[in-house]
Amino acid sequence: MKFGILVSEGPYTHQASDSAYQFTKAALEKGHEIFRVFFYHDGVNNATRLTTPPQDDRNIVNRWSKLAEQYNLDMVVCVAAAQRRGIVDEGEAKRNGKDATNLAPGFRISGLGQLIEAGIQSDRMVTFGD
């Protein structure tokens, strides 16, 4: 079955990002397809590679990146939410005159249409938030 995942809470806030990750991983391990993971609102903070939690804590950002690499996941960050919160890739840095980028591996910045498409193309859409 094809699943779409929406994450609208940042990492280390409450538990939504952890729940979304565990659900996504479990679905993949059961042989389901993840059409897309879409990060919206504060959820875009899951996509900064500058995150540095203490060594004995889980690294939520790296964990997403690794899962994406292992399963070739499409992880999309909402562009408007990202701009507000300073999540920047090279294209956005150039377009907005910023001197740095911080988008973590495996993520890409795009628009809300990608969320709509995930809703249309997936058999099930599951939202994780606060």
Q: Which residues are catalytic?
A: 78
Residues in 5-24 that interact with other proteins by CB under 8 A: 8, 14-16, 19, 22-23
Residues in 22-51 that interact with other proteins by CB under 8 A: 22-23, 25-27, 29-30, 32
- Of 12 and 105, nearer to other proteins (C-beta) is 12
Residues in 61-120 that interact with other proteins by CB under 8 A: none
Burial degree of 118 (CB within 10 A; 0-12, 13-18, 19+): buried
Sequence-ordered list of residues with C-beta below 8 angstroms from that of 105, at least 6 positions apart, any chain: 49, 65, 68, 69
Burial degree of 2 (CB within 10 A; 0-12, 13-18, 19+): middle
Q: Which residues bind other proteins (CB under 8 A)?
A: 1, 3, 8, 14-16, 19, 22-23, 25-27, 29-30, 32, 123-130
